[in-house]
Structure 1
Amino acid sequence: MSTIGTTTSTWKVRPGTVGLWILQVFLAFQFVSAGLMKLAGNEVMIGMFTEIGAGQWLRYVVGALEVAGALGLLVPRLCGLAALGLTGVMAGAVVTNVFVLGYSPAIALGFLLVAGLIAWFRRTAIRELVAKVAS
Structure 2
Amino acid sequence: MSEITTATNATTTDATRESTTRSRGAVALTVARVVLALFFAFSAFAKLIAHETAIETFDRMGWSHGAMYLIGALEMAGAIALLVPLLSGVAAMAFAGLLAGASIVQLTLLDPVNAIMPALLIGLVVLIARERRDRTARLVALIRRRA
TM-score by length of 1: 0.84
Structure 1: stretches of 5+ with no match in the other structure: 1-11
Q: Which residue of 2 aligns with 1:131?
A: 141
8 A Cα contact 1:62 1:89, kept in partner = no
Match of 1:110 in 2: 120
How many angstroms does 1:115 deviate by? 1.4
* Aligned-partner Cα distance in 1 for 2:101–2:141: 27
TM-score (norm 2): 0.77
What residue number does 1:82 align with?
91
Tell me how many residue pairs correspond in the alignment: 124
Q: CA deviation at 1:124?
A: 2.0
Which residue does the alignment assign to 2:132?
122
* Cα distance per residue 1:84-105 (max 9 Å; x no partner): 1111111110111111224320
Letter in 2 for 1:103: P
Provide the aligned C-alpha RMSD in A: 1.6
Separation (CA, whole Å) in 2 of partners of 1:103 and 1:51: 14
Aligned counterparts of 1:23 and 1:81: Cα–Cα separation in 2? 15
Aligned-partner SS, 1:101: coil
Per the TM alignment, residue 127 of structure 1 is displaced from its structure 2 partner at its CA by: 2.0
Once the two structures are TM-superposed, the CA of residue 131 in structure 1 deviates from its matched residue by: 2.4
Residue 37 (structure 2) aligns with: 28
| Partners of 1:37 and 1:113 in 2: CA distance | 24
Code of the residue aligned with 1:88 in structure 2: it is: G
Q: Tell me, which stretches of 5 or more residues in structure 2 are unaligned? A: 1-18
In the alignment, the residues of structure 2 paired with residue 36 and residue 55 of structure 1 have an alpha-carbon distance, to the nearest angstrom, of 17
Alignment of 1:58-77 (within 5 A): 58-77=67-86
